[in-house]
Amino acid sequence: MHLARLWDSSRKIDGGYSLEGLTNDRRVMDTVPEDLPKSGKISMKTIFGRKKVRKDGSEGKVVSIDPVKELQREDRELWICYSSLDSMSTLRLYESLKRKLETRRWVLDGCPRGTMYDFYEQYWRPFGALLVKMETEGMLVDRGYLSEIEKAAIAERELAAGKFRKWASKYCPDAKSMNVNSDTQIRQLLFGGIENRYCLSLISLLRFESLLCFHIPFHCGIFLSALHVWIFMKGRQ
């Protein structure tokens, strides 16, 4: 789903990046070629789900799915249809997102480099292939050494998070209690209350009266300098 993340990196709280969520979203699929089918992905629960039976023999509300291995063997024809529909949905999604990214410019240091689809082909597609290869073949690691550096990394992360909270609390006192691992709270700190340049309206999703881990209502929407963003990101590594 790298194409979708390049097109819209904020879908985590607005539809997500699953095949079902993307292919059933008109905003994503509005540029699908006419010669491709229009139906979106149908979930496994819809096709293979069965309601659990209560003790009295009646159907319950909970829907369960048998293990994939069983579905492939016992419902082979239906599984083939499901897989085929998934392939068709993936093709439609690819064609639509490709068209969208081809209309967005890729600019680096003020110099045009092509389109965002060119960026995907040059960097993200090879990266995806590398991840698949790593997952398929695996890689050797020194578990003992990895355990040692994990402890050091956790300590450094906590130190960086403390520095970040201390700096942010100069602008918003309650930021000292924020959860720096929360994407929602980071978005509120960075962009809360500003206008969305695409729809020219306030980012309503980010205007919270209060946030989960904050002691008092949090209304300050500020931009962080590149230095402090870098400190924060180092802390999450």
pLDDT tens digits, residue range 20-78? 999 999 999 998 887 777 678 888 888 898 888 888 888 888 888 989 889 898 888 99
User: Greater confidence, 112 or 194?
Assistant: 112
Average pLDDT (183-200) is: 70
Question: What does the pLDDT look like over 74-131, one tens digit per residue?
Answer: 888 999 999 999 999 999 999 999 999 999 999 999 999 999 999 999 999 999 999 9
Give the per-residue pLDDT at 232: 47
User: Mind spelling out the 3-state secondary structure of the chain?
Assistant: CHHHHHHCCCHHHCCCCCHHHHHCCHHHHCCCCCCCCCCCCCCHHHHHCEEEECCCCCEEEEEECCCHHHHHHHCHHHHHHHHHHHHHHHHHHHHHHHHHHHCCEEEECCEEEEEHHHHHHHHHHHHHHHHHHHHHHCCCCCHHHHHHHHHHHHHHHHHHHHHHHHHHCCCCHHHHHCCCCCHHHHHHHHHCCCECCCCCCECHHHCCCCCCCCCCCCCCCCCCCHHHHHHHHHHHC
Is the pTM for the entire model greater than 0.75?
no
Residue with more model confidence, 184 or 134: 134
pLDDT given for residue 196 in this prediction: 59
215 or 27: which leads in pLDDT: 27
For range 217-231, the mean pLDDT:
42
Q: Of 11-15, 94-98, 211-215, which gets the smallest average pLDDT?
A: 211-215
- Whether residue 226 is predicted with pLDDT greater than 50 in this model: the reply is no
Parse the chain into domains and list their residue ranges: 2-103, 149-236
pLDDT score recorded for residue 197: 60
pLDDT band (50, 70, 90) for residue 200:
very low
Q: How confident is the model at residue 191 (pLDDT cuts 50, 70, 90)?
A: confident
The pLDDT of residue 54: 86
Whether pLDDT at 202 is above 50: no
What is the pLDDT at residue 21? Answer: 92
Percent above pLDDT 70 for the chain: 81
